[in-house]
Amino acid sequence: MDAQTVSLQLPLAQITRSTGDAPLHYLEYHPGVAELALLGLAKDTGDADLGDALTLARPLSQPLPKQPAASAVTAPWCLTLLSPGATLAQLRALLDFVAGLGASVTAVDTLSQRRERTVLRLQLDGKLDFDPVRRACLKLAEEIGADLVLQTGDSQRPPSLAGFDMDSTLIDAEVIDELAKITGIGAQVAAITEAAMRGELDFRQSFKKRMRLLKGFPEAELARIAPQLPLKDGAEPLLRALRALGCKTVILSGGFTYFAHYLQSQRLAVDTVHANQLEFADGALTGEVIEPIVDGARKRELLEQIAVEMGLPLSRVIAVGDGANDIPMLSLGGLGIAIHPKPKVRQEAPQSIDRFGLDAALYLFGLNDGQIAGLLERG
């Protein structure tokens, strides 16, 4: 039989007492408006067992709007579930986890209910120690096959300044490795890059070593490589939405200005670029570096400097990256989002998204799919 969406009204606690499972489409819970939670499940009437606790729940008396407006965040914490295939079992595990923290759920909004993506934002009240709870969220996320993002309630708003790493963050490649492939030393340079991004090598020293290996690389090849660099999934809509929101964006890259400026002028809505300059002589790379090298400390310093120049508190600043040299700036502002990060970075970054593209960051600003679509139409 075809799956049907079953909408149920029930106390939130009743969900945790259920025993069955089914795909989950939405959950809305706003005690200030209605005491009962609104739960939407896909039920195959041929074989699905939702458990007695749910089959006894009251069916919805009115149709659910396609995209309900998200409620204002008033709680001290938000915990966002981003699942490629949300289920009732995932929801139960999440509610049990919250109860185990000694916290209470004060509201739930469904920010996305696509076939391939369900996003639930839970507002939490309670005294939470951020770092150990964040790490516990990472563990639970692995167990249930989803992303779980913890943040303070006041960070659930669009930023005014966003700093982005470039390689493996905005683009799905490490440019220095691409240059090395052309010169026949791709594996050698890639191994150094990977170790540096995992935090096993000092970035400055590894960068100098890789540049020496690239001595003699022809300058004319840059124009051929730049258009071939693949964008990271979700990069273009995220940057467009941020521009529509009035947020200033900056690339802060340990890569190269040539490619960052190409992205800025041809492919992405980026306002400012800070990266490393390539030094050429007689049409070929010299193998030397031009100071200052944009390493992890420099990224953080630049992002903080830009915020000061804009007159912004750091609470209105976010950073997005993937490697160990991004950790300093990820810990600077209101949000530090690691996207498809290396293991060390996943453990240390304040927020982490593993299973979705860059545009999933928009949910962490309190936006739902309807609002995001409106921003993209404007942008």
Catalytic residues: 165, 167
Give the residue carrying structure tokens 């391939």.
116
Is residue 37 helix, strand or coil? strand
Cis peptide, bond prior to residue 292, ω within 30 of zero: yes
Element holding 83 (H helix, E strand): strand 77-83
Contact predicate 117/59, CB 8 Å: no
The whole-angstrom distance between residue 136's C-alpha and the CA centroid of its chain comes to 18
Distance CA 309, CA 224 (A): 36
In degrees, to the nearest 5, what angle opens at C-alpha 233 toward C-alphas 167 and 337? 65
Q: How large is the C-alpha radius of gyration of the chain?
A: 23
The whole-angstrom distance between residue 350's C-alpha and the CA centroid of its chain comes to 11
Tokens of 146: 């989803």
Distance CA 254, CA 329 (A): 13
Q: 254 Cβ partners below 8 Å, 6+ apart?
A: 165, 167, 203, 207, 275, 276, 293, 294, 295, 299, 323, 325
Tokens of 191: 């191994």
Is residue 73 helix, strand or coil? coil
